Each structure stands twice: as C-alpha cells, then as structure tokens.
Chain A
C-alpha cells in the first residue's frame, strides 16, 4: 500500500510505502502452529497413556511378586514343614523343657 504525503498548499512531497498485513497468511500460519501444538500434545498424551499402562502392569507384577514371595516364605517357615525337615535331620523335640529361672 502506498501512502502519499501531502503538505500544505497541496504540494506533493513524497510517497511512503506501508506494508499491508497478509491476514490470510497469518491465519494459515496460526492454524498450522496450533495444529502442531495440538499434535505434539496429542502424541505426548498417547505416550503418557502407554507409560501409565506400563506402570499399571508393572505395579500389578510387583504386587504379584510380593505376594508370591510372602507365600513362599510362609510355606518355608510353616511349623509343619520345619518339623518335617527337622525329622529328616534326625532332630527330635525335647522330652521336657525345664526353665529354672
């Protein structure tokens, strides 16, 4: 856009070039930028979704492992199992236990 500058007595001095904003260009650029941001966030969302799923699976596995270990410990320290193993080693419960003090 050109703007002409006129002074008093209608004398033409010079012409200034003013830049015209291309609104269509700005709109398209904005759409692209917003889409890009949305896309990035969407991809991040999916990644986090995967991470949450994996974390839930991991938590499930860890709880399961924890329970399995507790079960194994209980089975190994069960009085029945211990007394059976003691008998294998020839150990017998004492006939009488007398506490003096």
Chain B
C-alpha cells in the first residue's frame, strides 16, 4: 500500500474516533444536561432562634439530634427487631411490633435519641437514622414554665416559645440540584435558590442568676414548711422588666414528653388566690389618695372583734386605738374594714381597678388570668368589708407585684414584660420592647407616704423577718385562708410577702407566695425570710450599696455583735 494511502487511512480512523468522542461529549454535556427528571428540589431547614437572658446567657438553643425510623417492608423478622429495639431504646415491644407490622414504607420509632441509644442500634437492617432539629434547655428546669417548650415538629407549644413562635421559627429555604453517581449533590444555578432564614434570637428580661436564686429560695422554703407549692415574681418597678418568674414545683422543658399540663402551666400568671393582708396597702393607697384619711388619723379596732351583719371580723391580736398607719403596720383586719367604710365601696372599687386588678396585666405570655373581682353593685356590706383585708377577691401573683411596683415607682401602673428585644443572626435589632405605662394610679406624694408606711411594717410590724440592715426593706405580709365550698379552711392558707427596696428609691419589687405551708401559716414567718434571702442575693449580684453611710453601717453591725455576745 502506498504511504500516502496509509496516512490517509490512519488519519481517517483517528478522525472517526475523535468525532465519536466529540459527539458523545457533545451529546452528554450539551444535549442531555438538563433533563427534568434528574433535577431534585432540596429543602434547607432553618435553625430555630436562640433565647438568651438579659446578660446574653443561653436559655434555649437548637441542635441536630438523631431520630430513629424504620422501613417495615425491609424488616425480615419484626418480632426479633421489636424486642431488640425495645431493649435498646427503652420502649414497649408491643407498640413497636404494631408499627413494624404496619406494612408502611416509613414509621418513626423514637425521636431525639441519645448517642448511647444510637450506638446500640447501628447497622440494624430496615432501621435508619435521620437528623432533626432538637431544642435544648441547658439550665434544665430554670424558668421552665416561662420558656415553655417546642414539640417534635418544631412549633412552640408553651410559654415564650409559643408566644414568639413566629419570630423564632425562621423560614425554610430550598435549592435545586442533581445527585451524582457518588450521591453528592451538585447545586444547579439554572434554578432558583433561596437560602434558609434562621429564626430570630430573643433576649429576655430575666436574669438567670437571680432566677436560679429565687427558685432555690422557693425550694428551701417549701421543703422547710412542707408547703404544696410556691411562686415568686421579681419586677423592676420603673420599667416593668421581669427579672425572675419562678414556680414550684419546677418543670424541665427538656422532658416535656412526660409532663402534664399542670406541670408546665405558669402558675404565676394563671393561678389566682385571695391576697389577704397584702391587699391592705391598696386600701390605704386609695384612702390617702382620695384625701379621706391621713396616716395619723385614729381608728378604733374594736378590741379584736367586730360584727358586720351576720359576720364577725377578727384580728390576730386585739387592738383598741390605732392610727391609720398602724392599721397597716400591725395588719388589723378591723382597722382595714373601718378605713374601707370611710372610703366608701365605690371609691375603693375604682382604685382596685386602677391598680390593675380584675384585668390582665398585659404581660407578653399566654394564658394570663384576669383574677376575680365582682362588680361593686353586687357587694353587700360583708363583701365590702372582707375585700378591705384581701378576701373575697382573687388575684394573680403578677397582678400583686405590678400593683406594688406602682407604689414603688411613684404611682404609675406599668405593663410587665419578659422579652426585651429581638435580634437577627447578625446581631441587627429587629424589634425592641419598651416600658409602657398603663395609667397613673395614685399621686407621687401618696406613693411616697405609702412607701414610708410599708417601711414601718418591716421595722415595727409583721415584716421584721424581711429586714436587711442598711437596705430599707419595705413590704407587707399576708396570710389568707383558702376557701372551699363557700367556707374558709382554718388549716389551709396562702402565706405571702410582697415588698421592695430600698424604700426611698426602689430598685426591685419581689413577691413571694407560698401555698399551704404547715404547721405555721403566717406570711411574716414563712414568706418574709424567703424575701430576705432573695433580696440578699440581688444585693450581692448587683453590688448594691447600703442606703446609709459606712459609719452608720459599721455602728449597726457592732451593736448587733455586742447584742449577740450578751
């Protein structure tokens, strides 16, 4: 064959091979690249926003957690698998067997398993693991009822999680992609791409250290006095920021699966009780503000026994003549009834409403109760009398704290709130919640006078066990019998102490409510020491200086030491 022919043949062959390769490449890369069936839509789940306390400490955060599912159609021996899984995951084998025999393609076995449980079931045929977002509460039961919890589907079901679910949840994103032979996803820029928008983060007004101190103080008091339950609220009186909101028994939102409704209900805002003597300052405020009474007006306390229609009002101790101020300081029920008679029931009712009772405080949490305040037209003489010392009316712990905050801040009823601000992931502020004044309740002058009276309660009256040297504690004790079937039970009461400090310039209002303490039921003995404990903790954490000079403080301490030695 001639060389020229051979060259032509070889070149022709090479050209043919080259053309084939080029054609295949062209066909695969250009013609067949965007077949619709190969492109899949993938969702990008958002991360739920983080909940912080006022100092930036994490209270709730979301992480991936493994969940176990089964493909019943792939399981050869459902009985064996059910028994194995029930031991590994601590589930009932009967329920598992029912799911494994269901014939479905996919069933959940257990959501959010621990790493230890995961290790036990790896490699089991027909059993798979899927990573899901799980909500963690690193401080356990701390502020459990306030935070609430999130269900398996990522929706908030109680508390702040529910109330601000729209902000916390975020928005899912999506992208289109192709899966290659290795299972890796290639994002296709030809199709729309929307990144996930993670949920916004919340900063609460709560201080987690103060919250912890309050919860521990409550737990100690309840244990000491064998009480049924206890609640506490701490509010900043000028802004309405809730620094702590504690319930006992506690609730751990990490274990919401086993919880009942009464466990995670926020009793501070949902449960009502008769406030007892802690309501007397409201009466005094009304009388002073109206000008019908002055602090040193004298009232006859009927020697401890006063008849009104068919009812007899008693005092703990028989008193004869008391000043209006002393009625509050020594907590005379009869004295309070007499003040109420001077004030008049309509005027008193008006002030009760002004102080926010019988209506919601407007706190940014769901499930709040209005309390129970009957219309004044239904009050008989006995009803008007009993309301004067806090029976015949039902209030929540939050309403009581808010009313005292009005006394502490100069007479303005503020709206309490727990969420301070909402920020996005880059720290940009989305929303700020500012203090809101609902209405003016009493004049500044009346508020100042009342603070002085409440200071006397702690210095000379029933609240001595709440006193802290140098810090001007002011407040009122309460011991209210609990009603049942229309009668008051002798052996069951609510012991309370609501107060603030320093009296001259209050920084914080604290309300302590103890349900059914035994054997002693008095607020001055049960609740006042708990108040003191919490107040000391706040003084320490906030480095609050005493209201008196160092010389005066030293003198008080020295005289105490001398008294101790003697």
Contact = CB atoms under 8 A, between A and B. Distances in A.
Nearest to B139: A78
B126 interface: no
B490 interface: no
A53 B139 contact: no
A75 B58 CA distance: 9
B209 interface: yes
Contact of A68 (B63, B185, B553): B63
A46 interface: yes
B188 A97 contact: no
Interface string B30-49: 10010000000000100100
B312 interface: no
A101 B50 CA distance: 39
Contact of B57 (A67, A74, A99): A74
A99 B544 contact: yes
A80 B140 contact: yes
Given A38-B29, A52-B187, 15 more contacts: A43-B29, A49-B186, A49-B187, A52-B189, A56-B44, A56-B175, A63-B198, A71-B58, A71-B61, A80-B139, A99-B539, A100-B546, A100-B553, A100-B554, A101-B545
A43 B186 CA distance: 12
Main secondary structure of the interface of B (DSSP, over half): mixed
A99 B546 contact: yes
Pairs of residues from A and B, 3 with the lowest C-beta to C-beta distance, nearest first? A74-B138, A49-B186, A79-B212
Given A49-B188, A101-B545, A80 B61 contact: no
B136 interface: yes
Given A99-B544, A101-B545, A71 B138 contact: yes
A80 B50 CA distance: 20
Interface residues of B, number: 48
Contacts of A49: 177-178, 186-189
Interface string A21-49: 00000000000100100110011011011
A96 B553 contact: no
A43 B543 CA distance: 65
Main secondary structure of the interface of A (DSSP, over half): helix
A73 B58 CA distance: 9
Contacts of B178: 49
Nearest to B553: A100
Given A64-B63, A98-B557, A39 B25 contact: yes
A70 interface: yes
Nearest to A63: B47
B543 A99 contact: yes
Contacts of A45: 189
Tell which of A35, A38, A70, A79 has the most Cβ of chain B within 10 Å: A79
B539 A35 contact: no
Contacts of A48: 189
Contacts of B184: 50, 53
A78 B140 contact: yes
Interface string B512-548: 0000000000000000000000001001100111100
B350 interface: no
